[in-house]
Amino acid sequence: MNKKEFEQFVEESGKDILRYCRMIAYSNEAGNELYQDTMLKLLEKQESLDCEQNIKSYAISISILLLKNKKRKYAVRNKKAVFVSLNDLADEDGKQIRNENILTPEEQYMKKDETYLVKQLVYELPEKYKIPLYMNYSANMSAEDIAKTLDIPLGTVKTRIRKAKKMLKERLEAIGYDR
């Protein structure tokens, strides 16, 4: 597609694409920005575009992907948790059900707090216990693989993991953690 064909495409389909961008972005300002980003992406790919293809649908798909990408980046930057309304969960009879995999905000906070506590306690373990424990749980390595990697006997690896777990349990009980 040459420059003249691109300009003709923008004149013919630009308003439709702009309207669509405003609609999916839920505001004129965000829609205008999305439209500009879409047209910029099309301009970058201008040489590879074929006039015989449906460029308008390609532009709309680009705008959708750009919007999804922006939303994802925004959520990551602001660490937004995606919540599903528990009111939306119902069985065939219309009775509300609770998906066990969905945590309430309070449960999410408690789980995050527990995770931090356990990580802190593991960090405080002596190196000879901490390393096999990390290798076993974080890297999903078997005791045999850990023994080969650290060049220590298999029994030693198993003992260190067992002792590390026992030490963690004792420390958690000492601070009043009950599960």
Torsion of the alpha carbons at 67, 73, 76 and 77, rounded to the nearest 10: -130
3-77 CATH fold: Rna Polymerase Sigma Factor; Chain: A (1.10.1740)
**What integer pLDDT is reported at residue 102 of this predicted model?**
63
| pLDDT tens digits, one per residue of 1-26 | 788 888 888 898 888 888 888 877 77
CATH architecture designation of domain 125-174: Orthogonal Bundle (1.10)
| pLDDT tens digits, one per residue of 129-155 | 988 887 787 667 789 988 987 889 999
Q: Is the pTM of this model over 0.85?
A: no
| pLDDT tens digits, one per residue of 36-82 | 999 999 888 888 887 777 788 788 878 888 888 888 887 767 665 54
Buried b (16+ CB within 10 A) or exposed e, 74-94: eeeeeeeeeeeeeeeeeeeee
Instruction: Delimit the domains of the chain by residue range.
Output: 3-77, 125-174
Bridge partners of 90, per DSSP, are: 96
Is 132 exposed, middle or buried (CB count within 10 Å of its CB: 0-12, 13-18, 19+)? buried
